[in-house]
Amino acid sequence: MIIEYCSKLYPEKLRKIENPPSRLYVLGNEKILNDNAISVVGSRTNTRYGEKMCKLFTKGLVEYNINIISGLAIGIDEIAHKTCLENGGKTIAVLPSGLNNIYPSKNKELAKEILNNGGILISEYEPNTEANSKKFLERNRIVAGLGLGTLVVEAGYRSGTRVTVKYTVEQGKKVFCIPSNLDNIKGKSTNELIRKGAILVTKVDEIIEEYKDIEFTKKEIVHKDIFLNIPKELHNIYKILNEKPKDMNEIILLSGESVNEVNYKLMLLEMEGLIKELPGQRYIKGIN
């Protein structure tokens, strides 16, 4: 579908930005383009901390019926899209290429998942257009333009994320940043943005509080089949755990795997927020 600037379907938020696209090429649910949404952006080479924070905040935003906007890139973008889908939300992917030429090709399956779950892919470029560095920067004004504000998860020095922030500020919208440790090179720009006036956030409610004129409704998250969301090699350990705490020795015995393998897989499951460690190296299922 093509949405011209003069069409009633054209997103109202984009009409207000400088140099709005004259037309949008879209695949998917165009009805969500005018819904409440937050742009979630960050490094393509995120840290584990960045991944954990992106999942935590994205899930929290979805709980408030807020759609997630990002750019389908590897790293924070794809984590935001995937987490949104896993928690029953709807997500908007803004491409730096035509819709017949999904970029990066690695995320073609993710693009299909977005479409199959009520989301949308959009581009201002002809369907067969290839991505290039200029288009990466151009699409960032649309990522910023569609949202109520922009959440920066992690961003290194001279990151493309800073361009999205620049557009967000120029559009008169709020920029939110999750703080990072001083020794985290991927958090250099987020900390600097906070110092320059971006809003420091440590939980989703601090984002919600900035929009007092909007009445958000919190919903209960309905998760999809959990085994679709985690690697197969972690299923064995995950199935062993339940609401009754199990210690390390019991998990090793039941799994038939080595101490090192069990330790590593427990760490990955905990990072995903699927299990929780209790005192005494005991583990249960549950969100951290």
Whichever domain contains 39, its CATH number is 3.40.50.450
- Asked if residue 139 belongs to a domain, the reply is yes
What single-letter DSSP state applies at residue 241? -
Phi and psi for 225 in degrees, rounded to 5? Answer: -50, 115
- Asked if residue 130 belongs to a domain, the reply is yes
Same domain, yes or no, for 113 and 244? Answer: no
Same domain, yes or no, for 137 and 267? Answer: no
HSE at residue 61, side-chain half, CA atoms within 13 A, is 32
Same domain, yes or no, for 241 and 179? Answer: no
- Asked if residue 30 belongs to a domain, the reply is yes
Cα–Cα distance, 99 to 229 (Å, whole number): 26
pLDDT for position 220: 67
pLDDT for position 288: 41
Per-residue pLDDT of the chain (288 residues; tens, 9 = 90+): 999 999 999 999 999 999 999 999 999 999 999 999 999 999 888 898 999 999 999 999 999 999 999 999 999 999 999 999 988 999 999 999 999 999 999 999 999 999 998 999 999 999 999 999 899 889 999 999 999 999 999 987 767 788 999 999 999 999 999 998 887 877 788 899 999 999 999 999 999 999 999 988 887 655 555 455 667 788 888 888 877 889 989 999 888 899 999 998 888 888 877 888 888 888 987 654
* pTM summary value: 0.76
Phi and psi for 238 in degrees, rounded to 5? Answer: -60, -40
- Asked if residue 96 belongs to a domain, the reply is yes
CB atoms within 10 A of CB 119: 23
Same domain, yes or no, for 181 and 255? Answer: no
What single-letter DSSP state applies at residue 251? H
Query: Which domain does 237 fall in, by range?
Result: 226-285
Domain boundary residue, one of 177, 208, 239: 208
Same domain, yes or no, for 132 and 271? Answer: no
CB atoms within 10 A of CB 259: 11
- Asked if residue 215 belongs to a domain, the reply is no
Domain count, the chain: 2
- Asked if residue 191 belongs to a domain, the reply is yes
Same domain, yes or no, for 85 and 179? Answer: yes
- Asked if residue 213 belongs to a domain, the reply is no
What CATH number corresponds to the domain at position 275?
Answer: 1.10.10.10
Same domain, yes or no, for 165 and 253? Answer: no
CB 188 within 8 A of CB 159: no
Same domain, yes or no, for 21 and 66? Answer: yes
Amino acid at position 253, single letter: L
Same domain, yes or no, for 48 and 158? Answer: yes
Cα–Cα distance, 161 to 133 (Å, whole number): 13
- Asked if residue 20 belongs to a domain, the reply is yes
Same domain, yes or no, for 72 and 192? Answer: yes
Separation in Å, CA 190 to CA 51, 162, 218? 15, 9, 28
Beta strands in the chain (DSSP E): 2-4, 23-28, 37-41, 67-70, 91-94, 120-123, 149-152, 174-177, 199-200, 246-247, 275-278, 282-285
Kindly list the strands in the beta sheet with 149-152, ordered across the sheet, starting from the edge strand earlier in the chain: 2-4, 23-28, 120-123, 91-94, 67-70, 37-41, 149-152, 174-177, 199-200
- 285: closest CA among 255, 232, 245, 228? 245
pLDDT for position 89: 93
Same domain, yes or no, for 111 and 183? Answer: yes
Enumerate residues 6+ apart whose C-beta is below 8 A from 1: 25, 26, 27, 30
> Can you name the residues that pair with 284 across neighbouring β-strands?
276
What single-letter DSSP state applies at residue 172? T
Same domain, yes or no, for 29 and 172? Answer: yes
DSSP string computed for 47-102: -HHHHHHHHHHHHHHHHTT-EEEE---TTHHHHHHHHHHHTT--EEEE-SS-TTS-
pLDDT for position 268: 86
Separation in Å, CA 114 to CA 29, 89, 143, 268? 10, 10, 16, 25
